[in-house]
Structure 1
Amino acid sequence: MDFLTNLHDAVTGWIFEYLLQPALYEAGLMDFADEVFTWLDFALFGALSMIVVYIVCRPLEAWRPVEPVTDRRAIRTDILYTALSRLGVLPLLAFVLLSSLQAWWEATVADSGFVPPTLETLVPGLREMPILAFALYVVILDFGEYWRHRLQHTFGWWWALHSIHHAQRQMTFWTDDRNHILDEVIAALWFGAIALLIGVPPGQFPILVMIMRLAESLSHANVRLSFGRIGERLIVSPRFHRLHHGVLSTADHGKNYAVLLPVWDWIFGTADFRRDVFPRTGDPDAPEALATGGWLRQQAVGLKRMAGAIFGRTA
């Protein structure tokens, strides 16, 4: 992990020093150098995660697709979602807000003299077992993601945003990032806050994010793939998650909410382990714009529906 972190820092530093900084200087925009460097750091990590996801998922979709591609425009819209989410300013905005909250929290804790517990302070032996500690971080963060996903289907205003994700009828691995901006920010704050509370080391955080994103992208892939009777109960497969998208018709019921570990669905009674079932995807209750509209149109409709859910109006 130290090697990967150092390599990432070296590449980021080189691009900024030899490409972006001279351009900022010529344009008289050096006052924004820190912001540009932070964006570059996010953009490079996002580009790397997109490359990894494509290398893993694209061959699988070509190998055994569940359904033929009939709507390439919808897929292009999802690619735009992915680019904006992983290369654009959306994750940066969430990061800036979270960093501000973290600074306030650390200052408050320092003034009070209280030292908040982390996994490694609660279980000191984990300091000598970094692999086990990393695995526990994954399990705890995945548990948090399970409940965030369930709450997205529970509250009307949140479902109004999340329904953009479920409206896709041509689901592919690009669909993972098909989310409303507000939903993206909430998700980033949720995930980051849990990571801070359990004391995830900064150097390990990007690796955790990449693992979760790869798992989510694979689970959305248009591939006829299950992991068998035992494997399906260990790791979320494309078949397992496709049932979540396929059986869903309204915001108040559904199955298979887990992101990485199906055990949470099994424990809380939301698991559907039927094998060799690959239903068509989409939300028949969603407005047509959420299924076939462009990015901007879907964002606007999502906001309108959220306002309708909050103020009791039909949107």
Structure 2
Amino acid sequence: MFDAVAHAVSALLGQAQTWLFVTLEQPLLYQLHLMDYDDLAYDATLWFVAGAAQILAVYAVLRPLEAWRPIEHWPDRKAARVDVIYTLINRLGLVSLVFFLALQPAFDNLQEWLRLHGVVNLNLDELLPGMRTHPLLGFLIYLVALDFAGYWYHRWQHQFQWWWELHAVHHSQRQLTLWADDRGHLLDDTLQAAFFAALALAIGVPPNQFVLLAMLGGALQSLQHANVRMDFGRLGERLLVSPRFHRLHHAVGYGHELGHGNRARLYGCNFGILFPWWDLLFHSADFVTKP
């Protein structure tokens, strides 16, 4: 079932990718004498198409929810408009694509060196052979592995002063909306893209699954930041990060910093990206305090 759905989604994205590339991009590359970059442009087109599809789907679902059940009412939404620009930059895939493609040759060389020295390949699907015969299992294992890394990455962003000063740009938005997830410092976004592209390559995430993982993760994080009065119930709150759970993470003086300058105390709660399991396991979860 999952395999069929994944192939159907990939086929639709692939058709849109091919049409856009052949109709618009390839003629432009030819006119500009840039045909040496046609492979890179073709790969970039897939990320662009996937990102555009995700943005449209997320907006179609979440914007009506924000209008129907807002947790906050604002006289205007001007403060949130800049987040739309952040979203377009991040979701259309340019940063992630550059790092994923740029790091691929380096990881190929590294894995060849490891094999020559008798070191087992890093790919998870070689350590867990069932991932190859059961695509859904493989997808879920990659999802959990990346989310576990994401929890610690996010926690470190709050723990180290220099890193917090970058990540604080994300927390500077006081009007949380479906667009707020991608608000961030360019350097922070670059570090994050490099980290997760490197990790995905290290554990052997196939490129087509990497695109699907990015789409799913982005959609769920848009929901978490949406201005929606929503929780998932006592059990659901412990299975998936909800808007309520993540909104508390954004609470000034509780979810993140307290104080000013060098006297700021960096701490917080609810660092989970998709799953709150890691917050439960490492004692950083708060399901009680109202955001």
Structure 1-normalised TM-score? 0.81
2:271 is matched with: 257
2:132 aligns with: 127
Q: Which runs of 5+ in 2 are unaligned?
A: 1-5, 259-264
How far is 1:40 from its partner? 2.1
Q: Would the alpha carbon gap of residues 12 and 252 (structure 1) be closer, same or farther in structure 2, given more than 3 Å must change? A: same
1:176 matched residue in structure 2 = 181
One-letter amino acid matched to 1:256? N
After TM superposition, the structure 1 stretch with the greater mean CA deviation from structure 2, 159-168 or 8-17, is: 8-17
2:285 to 271, 275, 281: 271
Q: Which residue of 2 aligns with 1:93?
A: 98
How has the CA–CA distance of structure 1 residues 7 and 112 changed in structure 2, closer, same or farther, with 3 Å as cutoff?
Answer: farther
- Residue in 1 that maps onto 2:236: 231
| Unpaired runs of at least 5, structure 1 | 279-315
Q: Say which is worse superposed, 236-245 or 153-162, in terms of deviation.
A: 153-162
Q: Which amino acid aligns with 2:212?
A: I
Q: Does the aligned pair in 1 maintain the 2:99–2:197 contact within 8 Å?
A: no
User: 1:244·1:254 contact (CA, 8 Å) conserved in 2?
Assistant: yes
Q: Which amino acid aligns with 1:257?
A: F
How far apart, in 2, do the equivalents of 1:120 and 1:97 lie?
Answer: 22
Aligned pairs for 1:53-202 (under 5 A) are 53-87=58-92, 89-112=94-117, 114-202=119-207
Post-superposition offset of 1:131: 1.9
* Alpha carbons 2:181, 2:225 under 8 Å: kept: yes
Q: Percent identity?
A: 46
> CA offset at residue 224 of structure 1?
0.7
Q: Which has the higher contact order (CA 8 A, sep 6+)?
A: 1
Where does structure 1 differ by over 4 angstroms across 4 or more consecutive aligned residues? none
Q: Which amino acid aligns with 2:96?
A: P
What residue in structure 1 maps to residue 3 of structure 2? none
Count of aligned pairs between the two proteins: 277
CA distance in 1, matches of 2:130, 2:105: 32
Q: Is the 8 A contact 2:96 2:197 kept in 1?
A: no
SS at match of 2:247: helix
The one-letter code sitting in structure 1 at the alignment partner of 2:276 is P
Alpha-carbon contact 1:175-1:220 (below 8 Å) kept: yes
**Residue identity matched to 1:49:** Q
